[in-house]
Structure formats: structure tokens, C-alpha cells
Structure 1
Amino acid sequence: MDHLMREAVRYLGYGKHAVDDQTLRLIADSFGSLRSVGSRKSVYRIFDLEQEDGETVRFGSLTVKSKSLGKNLRGCDKIVLFGATLGIGVDQLLSRTSKTDMAKTVVTQACAAALLEKYCDECQERIRQEMELEGRYLRPRFSPGYGDFPIECQRDLIRVLDCARSIGLTLTEGCMMAPSKSVTAVIGAGRTVIRCHRQGCESCEKIDCIYRRDTL
């Protein structure tokens, strides 16, 4: 089982339990369907970063108060605003599938989440290479809604990145992204090498979560 399939299994909540062959076939089939309809796009912009009092960060025309974001960006002098989407075709596939096969819909949702995460990792790797040419090193991605980073900041990120025009990503009144399989995030960059990035499951204290990645 490759990494992408393991991630889909994790999103399905299997934990350390064995996965039956039928589910594995559904996962493989879902990845094939998603790749045929997906239209991956991403956008990013880099800004100077100012910080004060450990919880106030400023970049571009924006000021954000968040202790968890301040901690993530500690030691950084640049910030990358990032957006990515798998495209509207994935939403259309999920809508069609939900009318005929709910089991496959659940599996396809998990596979889409895994594909989106993989795509974001690929994009961040390209940004990492660009920033290291300037002698800067990246921190983990940090999205609105993490910790006390307000979910409403999605609106600011999407506006500054002009996501509607650049990648077709918009936001509903309730801060839901459309297409749904999309991400916005910030990525700090600083002169100090961080050799061990704590992110996602690695930084979460909820060790009994069924979706937890094996971090041992």
C-alpha cells in the first residue's frame, strides 16, 4: 500500500485496523475517477512579515491576532499566502456519486482529501526550493481555523490572492470554500533552519483520534 492509499485509509478512520479488499478496490477506483476529473490549480504570494507581542502579525494590508499563528511564524520575516484547489470537477463527481452509491461517495471524499494534501505538499516543495535560494526556510502550512487563527481570515486570503480569478476558488457566506476540495494557508519563512517541522498529527495532542496519522 503506497503513501497516498494509506492517507485515504487514514481519512476513512480505520486507524490501525485492517482494510478489507473491497474497500481497497473502491479506493483505487476512486483515485482513478478523481484523476480523470480533477483540475489542480494553485496560487501564492510572498509578503514581508511583522510580528509583535507574540500574537499580532502584519503582512500586506492585513493584521491578524492569533497566538497559535504567532507561534507558528516565530522567527520568520516573510510569509507566503497560499491557495489550492482540485477543481469543480471533483464536486460534480461527488454529487453524481452521492445519488447512486453512498459507500463510494465516502471513499471518494477520503481520496480527494488525500489528493489535495499531496498536491499542497508538492506546491510547498516548489516554494521551499525558491525560498532557499534566498536563504530562507519554510515553516509548516497553517490554515484559518487552526487553533485561534480565525476561520474568517479565509476571506482576506482569498481576496489578496484574487483566488476567484486565478484558480476559480470562492467562499460562501458561511466561509465554505467552493470548490469544496480546496485549501488556503499561510507559510512562514525565516533565516533559521527548522530541522523538525511539527505539523498536523505530529503537533496535535489528541492522541486517541481515529484519523490520527501514525507518528511513531
Structure 2
Amino acid sequence: MDNRTKETIRYLGYGNHAVDSTTIAMISDSFRNLESVANCKSIYRIFDLHETDENYYKIGTVHLESRNLSKNLKGCHRVVLFGATLGAEVDRLLTRKALMSMAEVVVLQAAAAAMLEEYCDECQEEIRVSLEREGEYIRPRFSPGYGDFDIHYQRPLMQMLDCAKKIGLTMTDSFMMSPTKSVTALIGVSSTQENCHKKGCEVCGKKDCIYRRDTV
């Protein structure tokens, strides 16, 4: 079983329970459908990072406050602003499936989330390789909405990246992304290499979450 299938099963909330063959087949079909319509795009820019006070940072003209983000960026002097999307056709596919089968659309939603995560990991690996040539090292991605890093910071970060023009990514007044299968994130940049490339479940304290990865 490949990693994207395992991630989809995790997003479906199976935990340690066995997955039936019908669901596995639906996951495979979902990825085939997604690969036929997805138009993956990403953008990133690197900014100087200024710590103005404890848990407070300034990137360009944007001021950020977050205790959780501060832990992630400790020791960093620059930051990568990153945005990525699977494209509008994935949303259209989800809408069509919702009219046909709710079971299929639930699996498709999970598969799209896993595909987006996989794409972001690939993009981040390219950024890592590029920066390490310069003797700099990256931290894990950290997105608005993680911990106490307010989702409202999504809008200024997207504006700094010019996401609407560059990759067709916009945001509604209720802070929903369009296309929905999209993400923005900060990636800290440090001059020292640290064994800190953990993300998501590995840094979350909610041990009883049904979506939790096996981090043992």
C-alpha cells in the first residue's frame, strides 16, 4: 500500500481498523479521477523574518502573533511563504460526485487532501534542496489555522504571494479558499540544521484523534 493511500485512509478516520476492499477500490478510482483533472500549481517567496517581541514576528509589512508559530520559527532569520492548489477542476469533480454518490465524494475528498499533501511535500523538498545549496535549512510547514496561528492571517499571506494572479487562488469573506483543495504555509529558514522536520500529528498533543498518524 503506497503512502498516498495510507494518508487517504487516515483522512477517512479508520485509525487502526481494517479497510475493506470496496473502500480500497474507491480510493484507487479517486486518484485516477483526480489525476485526470488536477492542475497543480504552487508559488513561494522568501522574506526576512523579524522577531519583534516574544511570540511576535514581522514579515514584510505583516505582523504575526502566535505562540505555536514562534516555537516552529525559533532560530530562523528568513521565512518561505508558500501557496499551492490542485486547481478548480478538482472542485468541479467533487461537485459532480456529490450529486451521484455521497460515499464516493467522501473518499474523493480524502484522496484530494492526500494528493495536496503529497504535492506540497514535493514542492517543499525542492525548496529544501535549493536552500541547502546556499547553506541554509528549512523547518516544517506551518499553516494559518494550526494551533493558535489565526486563520485570519491567511489573507495577508496570500496577498504577499499574489496568489490570485499567480496560481488562481482566492479567498472568500468567510476565509474559505477557492479552489478548496489549496493551502498556504510558512516555512522557517535557519543557518543551522536541526532535527526538527516533524509536522502535523508528530507535534500535536491530541493523542486520541481518530485521524492521527502512527507516530510511534
Normalised by the length of structure 1, the TM-score is: 0.98
Matches within 5 A, 1:28-177: 28-177=28-177
Q: Take 1:3 and 1:139, find their aligned partners in 2: how far apart are those partners? A: 22
Aligned partner of residue 34 in structure 1, secondary structure: helix
How far apart are 1:198 and its partner, in Å? 2.6
Q: Which amino acid aligns with 1:100?
A: M
RMSD: 0.8
Q: List structure 1 runs of 4+ shifted beyond 3 angstroms.
A: none
Q: Take 1:196 and 1:98, find their aligned partners in 2: how far apart are those partners? A: 40
Answer yes or no: is 1:187 the counterpart of 2:184.
no
Residues 33-63 of structure 1 deviation map (CA, whole Å, 9 limit, x = unaligned): 0000000000000001111333011111111
How far apart are 1:192 and its partner, in Å? 1.3
Q: Take 1:178 and 1:150, find their aligned partners in 2: how far apart are those partners? A: 19
Count matched residues: 216
Aligned partner of residue 151 in structure 2, secondary structure: coil
Structure 1, unaligned stretches of length 5 or more? none
Aligned partner of residue 141 in structure 2, secondary structure: strand
How far apart are 1:67 and its partner, in Å? 1.2
Question: Is the contact made by 2:140 and 2:196 (CA closer than 8 Å) also made in structure 1?
Answer: no
Q: Take 1:211 and 1:48, find their aligned partners in 2: how far apart are those partners? A: 35
Q: Take 1:53 and 1:64, find their aligned partners in 2: how far apart are those partners? A: 10
Q: Which amino acid aligns with 1:35?
A: E
Question: Is the contact made by 2:139 and 2:196 (CA closer than 8 Å) also made in structure 1?
Answer: no
Question: Is the contact made by 1:54 and 1:71 (CA closer than 8 Å) also made in structure 2?
Answer: no
Residues 152-176 of structure 1 deviation map (CA, whole Å, 9 limit, x = unaligned): 1110011010000100000000000
Normalised by the length of structure 2, the TM-score is: 0.98
Overall identity of the aligned pairs, in %: 58
